Chains A and B, each alone.
Chain A
Amino acid sequence: MVDATLASISFDAEGYMTNPSQWSKEIAESLASQEGLATLTAEHWKIIDFCRQTGLASGKAPTLRQITIGTGISTKDLFALFPKGPAKKVAKIAGLGKPEGCV
């Protein structure tokens, strides 16, 4: 149940998790379905894992271009996997803060 899984998670005003350590794969799946993604394929996970890794290492969620360059996935595919605002969607699903940066 989506509500139960996310009940104990803390979010900021825009819907980003404020405590990355509360994240788990189940949380990610609940968040993804809230973002309109019913199922997460291996391709989705590749991007989520990359973002989580980079985000936790640098303290900042990666921007759109950082994702395409870092994962090797094309802009077209990225927008196809996470329609309408991929970088922000993935940041939410990966339990990170809002991506900063204009590229």
Chain B
Amino acid sequence: MATENRKIAFICSKGDLDMAYPALIMGWAALGNGVDVTMFFTFWGLDLVTEKRVDKLEIAPVANTSFKMSMMGLPTGNLGIPNLMGIIPGMTAFASWFMKSKMKALGTPTVREYLEMLSDGGAKMYGCKMTVDMFGIKRDEFLPCIKDVVTASDFIDMTDGAQIIFI
């Protein structure tokens, strides 16, 4: 074969609901374009691929300067949600529910479903050994999509020639 296939790798380091989607959506688009996809879940990103956490991802409006009240249809322009309001018990749950409902309205799959689709489409997904050691996570706590738990050095080896995107 004259030309090698294009390769892309995503490093998923965040566990918030909003930061879970970029890699999933772009990874799926890459697979749809015939690109080889590798995903490396590290630090908070391990929440995305842990069985007991994946359905419970949240987004907190507190200290989130992008979360504007106008998102909910209120004519408030650039006004953000006051932090004092954001700390009220239930506000994080509400913000998370709100975001999930927006994604659902677009027909976007849940994080769990996306990971399954990506795995079925051929994406290779790995957990970060250092994080696993730090948080004492056991192999059987991961979703089936995780192929292996590897080191940073392994990741650098396997992404030789790949475009790497850090999220």
Residues of A with Cβ closer than 8 Å to B? 63-65, 68, 74-76, 79, 83-88, 102-103
Inter-chain contacts of A65 with B (CB < 8 A): 107, 109, 117
Question: In this assembly, does B25 line the interface, its C-beta being within 8 Å of a C-beta of chain A?
Answer: yes
B109: contacting residue among A74, A76, A103, CB under 8 A: A103
Q: A102-B29, A103-B107 are in contact. Are A76 and B34 (CB under 8 A)?
A: no
- The reply to whether A75 and B117 contact each other, CB–CB distance below 8 Å, is yes
Can you list 20 A-B contacts (CB < 8 A)?
A63-B32, A64-B32, A64-B121, A65-B109, A65-B117, A75-B121, A76-B120, A76-B121, A79-B120, A79-B121, A83-B34, A84-B34, A85-B32, A87-B32, A88-B33, A88-B34, A102-B29, A103-B25, A103-B107, A103-B108
Give every chain B residue within 8 A of A102 (Cβ-Cβ): 25, 28-29
Besides A79-B120, A84-B34, 14 new A-B residue pairs in contact (Cβ under 8 A), listed by A number: A64-B28, A65-B107, A65-B109, A74-B120, A75-B116, A75-B120, A76-B120, A79-B121, A83-B34, A84-B5, A85-B32, A88-B34, A103-B25, A103-B28
Contact A79 B28 (CB under 8 A): no
**A79 / chain B contacts, CB cutoff of 8 Å:** 31, 120-122
Q: How far is the CB of B160 from chain A (nearest CB, A)?
A: 20
Residues of B within 8 A of A103 (CB): 25, 28, 107-109
Q: How far is the CA of A15 from the CA of B82 in the complex (A)?
A: 51
CB-CB nearest in chain A for B107 = A103
A88 CA to B109 CA, complexed, in Å: 20
List, in ascending order, chain B residues with CB within 8 A of A84's CB: 5, 34
Complex Cα gap A86–B120 (Å): 13
CB-CB < 8 A to A74: which residues of B? 120
Q: How far is the CB of A84 from chain B (nearest CB, A)?
A: 3
Q: Binary interface profile of B, 85-109, with partner A (CB < 8 Å = 1, else 0)?
A: 0000000000000000000000111
A85 and B33 in contact (CB under 8 A), knowing A64-B28, A102-B25, A103-B109?
yes
- Which residues of chain A are near B5, meaning CB under 8 Å? 84
Q: Which residues of A contact B28 (CB under 8 A)?
A: 64, 102-103
What is the minimal beta-carbon distance from B23 to any residue of chain A, in angstroms? 13
Chain B residue contacts of A76, Cβ below 8 A: 120-121
Once A102-B25, A103-B107, A103-B108 are accepted as A-B contacts, the answer to whether A86 and B32 lie under 8 Å apart by CB is yes
